Amino acid sequence: MPKYSVKEEITLPASESAVLVVDMQNDFVHPKGALFVPDAPKTVPAIARLLEKARKSGVPVFYTQDWHGEDDPEFAIWGRHAVAGTWGAEVVEDLTPEKGDVLIKKLRYDGFYGTSLDHLLRLKGVKHLVIVGTVANICVLHTAGSAALRWYNVVVPMDGVSALSEEDYHFALHQIDFLYRGAVVRGVEGVKFV
């Protein structure tokens, strides 16, 4: 397995931070979803705790939703999934966005590609982005990389991300640590907002 550094705790300024929940949608997280990720349901309680902590600290919460048209070319790779307006494209019930949260509908793996995410984060003065969700080596990694290339400080709690295999999971965390100089934190409990 690739090696990477793991922090036990990180403290972030609430006024300069945001949480980004990547693709925690029925098609990926629910067992009846079109592209079910078996480990994704295990991350839901940790993500819920992180969201509660963020909201109590006044940290804005963003969600990405994979959002495809009926004839999306990505279906040639993954099959039909997250079709706009369907049950599969909706965020799982246990992580339902609350009033004031921002939903970003995306067409590709990267949450920044062709969306207003960067603009909205900058309007809020965000410098530190805590990223959780699925799939670790696909949409989470591409979004984390895109954030780092825009000079956001990326933080990824290990218990808040999931992948289709253990190898993919560790590969993604290695890339975030090594290539993007992101902070891999053991768990959401180690993420502190002040």
Active site residues: 23, 106, 139
> What's the angle, vertex CA 189, arms to CA 33 and CA 27, rounded to 5?
5
Beta partners for 133?
A: 22, 161
Distance of CA 132 to the CA centre of its chain: 4
- The CA-atom distances, in angstroms, between 167 and each of 8, 78, 141, 162, 174 are 22, 19, 14, 11, 10
Helix (H), strand (E) at residue 46:
helix 40-56
Whose tokens are 């053991």? That residue is 186
Structure tokens at 184: 């891999």
State whether residue 104 is helix, strand or coil. Answer: strand
Structure tokens at 88: 């599969």
Give the contacts of 66 (CB within 8 A, at least 6 positions apart): 23, 25, 27, 28, 81, 82, 89, 106, 139
